[in-house]
Amino acid sequence: MRPSLAFRGEDGLPILRSAKCTHLGCTVGSDVDAEGRILCPCHVSFFDVKTGQPNAGAPAKEPLPSIGWVLMDADLNIVASRSSDGAVHGHIDPTKADQLDVYIGKPQGGRSS
Ligand code: FES
């Protein structure tokens, strides 16, 4: 399992990202600053949590990859999912989000980052 980070988006849905910096592979931190960014301390790249994009002028030039997920209820019904390209299917009632479990699937036909 590669290092990854999990956040809750403003819509209540999970945001899962690889924690492997796209510059030289250090593990990025998990503290989110006031601008919604996380820091790779090795050579100082900031990554936007929502988009994964590095800041302008950062050593990292590529975004932190998104990791797909599935939200399931207690009866194992899929409530919502997000593919690794960011497409979301389904929606959740934010008041019931804490009753759902997050599952991470192995990518189909490709490799994860
Ligand atoms: S390894 Fe992250 S900025 Fe260089």
Q: What is the CATH number of domain 1-92?
A: 2.102.10.10
Break the chain into its structural domains and give their ranges: 1-92
Of residues 93 and 45, more confidence is placed in 45
| Atom 1 of ligand 1, residue of closest alpha carbon | 24
Cα(27) to centroid of ligand 1, in Å? 8
List pLDDT tens digits, range 23-42: 999 999 999 999 999 999 99
In short, whether 21's Cβ falls inside 6 Å of ligand 1 is yes
Q: 81 with 66: CB under 8 angstroms?
A: no
Tokens of 2: 């590669």
β-bridge partners, 81: 70, 89
Distance from C-alpha of 47 to C-alpha of 37, rounded to nearest angstrom: 5
Helix (H, G, I), strand (E, B) or coil at 67: coil
Rounded to two decimals, what is the model's pTM?
Answer: 0.85
Distance from C-alpha of 89 to C-alpha of 91, rounded to nearest angstrom: 7
Position 63 confidence tier, pLDDT thresholds 50, 70, 90: very high
